[in-house]
Amino acid sequence: MRILFATSEAHPLIKTGGLADVSGALPAALHQLGHQVEILIPAYPAVLDKLADAKKVCTLHHLPMVGEVELWRGTMPDSGVPVLALRHEALYQRAGNPYLDSQGHDWQDNPLRFATLAHVAAILACEDSPLPEHFDIVHCNDWQTGLTPAYLYYKRSQRTNLKCAKSLMSVHNLAFQGNYSPSWLTQLGLPQQAFHLNGVEFYGQFSFLKAGLFYADKLSTVSPSYAAEIQTDDFGFGMQGLLQSRKQDLVGILNGLDTQAWDPATDPYLPAHYSAKQLDGKQQVKLALQNSMGLAEEAGTALLGVVSRLTHQKGLDMLLEIADEVLQQHAIQLVVLGSGEATMQQGFIDLASRYPGRVACQIGYDEGLSHRIMAGCDLFIMPSRFEPCGLNQMYGLRYGTPPLVNRTGGLADSVIDSNQESIASKQANGFVMHRAEPDELKMCITRALSYYAQEKLWQQIQRQGMSQELGWELSAKRYLELYEEMLKPQKRESKEVSSKVGTVSAN
């Protein structure tokens, strides 16, 4: 199978969140299984730095508004997966966050930057590509590559016998949609007629994600529960009608985790190592973490941890709401690493100053510290209001730090609440809230602490998570099955596409 994996971030080249983890690890797993996969990504400065061996392979001409772009090929530092870096000085050669300027605002030219990425993916996906390699599948991820299936559709409507790869649109987070003014449409090389309910129009705007959801051959998202949730009014962010109408084409495949990068027995970011069989080193990591974060070095005090984007999605405002009460009722400590909304950042900074030695907070992004928090804490707190998959709870499982989560999306699919029954059947691996409400979070923390006080039970819960199969192999096989299904010959394909355009009447 030949797969072009188009993405706007991929670990270890550049990362703002879970999309990067998946874009690093899934292609690596497919590569391991013997398939030819290439990652297409913008050549941000960080990407070029880390692809030290990159060589120019070709120049593409006549791209709308930008003219020429170059493709450079290198290999992923860890996995050896080939990477095509899309080079254009003005579009991608800027330092910092791939989506935001230093003030935290979206780069003004994001529609052009990511339409160009999506357009190049569509060009490479067809037989008239300037590269000798041909692809069977183009795998698009989130709104940044949502236009690829639209470009493919219009390319093929001009040359109906043109052979192109099949397109899969994966949704990592439906809340981010890439919605822009319709005036961009023709500037970006799409026809005006695409601005239609049965096309890229979304409540009067031009939506990159809607384009992907409408034109792609198949749709996927990152957990079975989220696949069901996004078809409902509560979680659909306005796309639920379209998703319901395409439910036959939509699957949920739970993310795995990179078991090499996240292994407490070998993790280079940790001062000591441990495993399910030999847990001792975990305590050393805890003491070192307490020390480095200015917390009292108390091995027996339950240490709660957070590593997160600080946004409404993640529900950490609820933790702020109950923190005083919980800290007064229980002898616990809390360590928080994150960045995001200013009020939430300030809330955690203030909390830490009210509880010196008991609460520590670092605002910002720090890969090493995120690993040390995962390893050094006792309980990982993740009360997300919605969570397409979530990787941190899985890192918590693997690091013997039982996650406390809200029952939604991938959290519901990966964490099993500890209760009499699940303890007896040796399934329990964490703690699950039933509703995203501050009181429920408080009760769940209290419940988790009562288990923490029972050392044997706690170790059983820790070991259950640590011994689970959380790697990518199983999920990568599911993606392969999906790709294979997409490649099965379909009768009168062009007819089918047009009947799809005619029947979708959602939104």
For residues 430 and 474, the answer to whether their CB atoms sit within 8 Å is: no
Q: Which amino acid is it at 477? A: K
Residue 82 has φ and ψ, to the nearest 5°, of -65, 145
Contact flag: residue 337 with ligand ADP (CB under 6 A): yes
Rule CB under 6 A: choose which of 17, 77, 82, 189 binds ligand ADP.
17
Residue 40 contact, options ligand ADP, ligand GLC, none, Cβ 5-8 Å cut-off depending on partner type:
none
166-171: strand order across its sheet: 55-63, 67-75, 82-87, 36-42, 2-6, 137-141, 166-171, 218-221, 250-252
- 99 CB neighbour count, 10 Å cutoff: 17
Per the document, the length of the chain is 507
| Smallest distance, ligand ADP to C-beta of residue 413, A | 13
Task: Using the minimum distance from each CB to ligand GLC, give the nearer residue, 144 or 173.
Answer: 173
Residue 222 contact, options ligand GLC, ligand ADP, none, Cβ 5-8 Å cut-off depending on partner type:
ligand GLC
| Smallest distance, ligand GLC to C-beta of residue 18, A | 3
Stretch touching ligand ADP by CB under 6 A, among 88-96, 270-278, 285-293, 388-396: 388-396
| Smallest distance, ligand GLC to C-beta of residue 20, A | 8
Contact flag: residue 391 with ligand ADP (CB under 6 A): yes
Residue 392 contact, options ligand ADP, ligand GLC, none, Cβ 5-8 Å cut-off depending on partner type:
ligand ADP
Task: Using the minimum distance from each CB to ligand GLC, give the nearer residue, 188 or 239.
Answer: 239
403-406: strand order across its sheet: 359-363, 332-340, 302-310, 379-382, 403-406, 431-433
Stretch 291-310: interaction string toward ligand ADP, x if CB under 6 A: ----------------xxx-
Contact flag: residue 177 with ligand ADP (CB under 6 A): no
Residue 417 contact, options ligand GLC, ligand ADP, none, Cβ 5-8 Å cut-off depending on partner type:
none
Nearest-CA neighbor of 430 among 482, 379, 502? 379
DSSP output for 69-93: EEEEEEE-TTT--EEEEEE-HHHH-
| Smallest distance, ligand ADP to C-beta of residue 475, A | 14
Task: Using the minimum distance from each CB to ligand GLC, give the nearer residue, 141 or 333.
Answer: 141
Sorted by sequence, the CB contacts under 8 Å of residue 13 that are 6+ apart come out as: 20, 24, 41, 46, 47, 50, 51, 76, 83
Task: Using the minimum distance from each CB to ligand ADP, give the nearer residue, 125 or 140.
Answer: 140
Beta-strand relationship, 250-252 and 205-207: unpaired
Task: Using the minimum distance from each CB to ligand ADP, give the nearer residue, 391 or 476.
Answer: 391
CA distances, 167 to each of 19, 244, 255 (Å): 18, 19, 19
Rule CB under 6 A: choose which of 367, 455, 473, 493 binds ligand ADP.
367
Residue whose entry in the numeric block shows the structure tokens 């292609």: 27
Query: Cα Rg for the chain, rounded, in angstroms?
Result: 23
| Smallest distance, ligand GLC to C-beta of residue 172, A | 3
* DSSP class of 131: S
Contact flag: residue 154 with ligand ADP (CB under 6 A): no
| Smallest distance, ligand GLC to C-beta of residue 117, A | 18
| Smallest distance, ligand ADP to C-beta of residue 435, A | 20
Contact flag: residue 109 with ligand ADP (CB under 6 A): no
Sorted by sequence, the CB contacts under 8 Å of residue 296 that are 6+ apart come out as: 290, 333, 357, 358
Task: Using the minimum distance from each CB to ligand ADP, give the nearer residue, 129 or 406.
Answer: 406
DSSP output for 210-271: HHHHHH-SEEEES-HHHHHHTTSTTTSTT-HHHHHHTGGGEEE------TTTS-TTT-TT-S
Contact flag: residue 409 with ligand ADP (CB under 6 A): no
For residues 102 and 57, the answer to whether their CB atoms sit within 8 Å is: no
DSSP output for 30-46: HHHTT-EEEEEEE--HH
Stretch touching ligand ADP by CB under 6 A, among 13-21, 76-84, 93-101, 455-463: 13-21
Task: Using the minimum distance from each CB to ligand GLC, give the nearer residue, 125 or 222.
Answer: 222
* Cα distance between residue 339 and residue 362, in whole Å: 8
| Smallest distance, ligand GLC to C-beta of residue 109, A | 23
Q: Which two tokens stand for residue 104?
A: 């935290």
| Smallest distance, ligand GLC to C-beta of residue 22, A | 5
Contact flag: residue 12 with ligand ADP (CB under 6 A): no
Contact flag: residue 18 with ligand ADP (CB under 6 A): yes
Provide the binding-site residues for ligand ADP, judged by CB under 6 A. 17-18, 21, 307-309, 337-339, 365-367, 370, 389-392
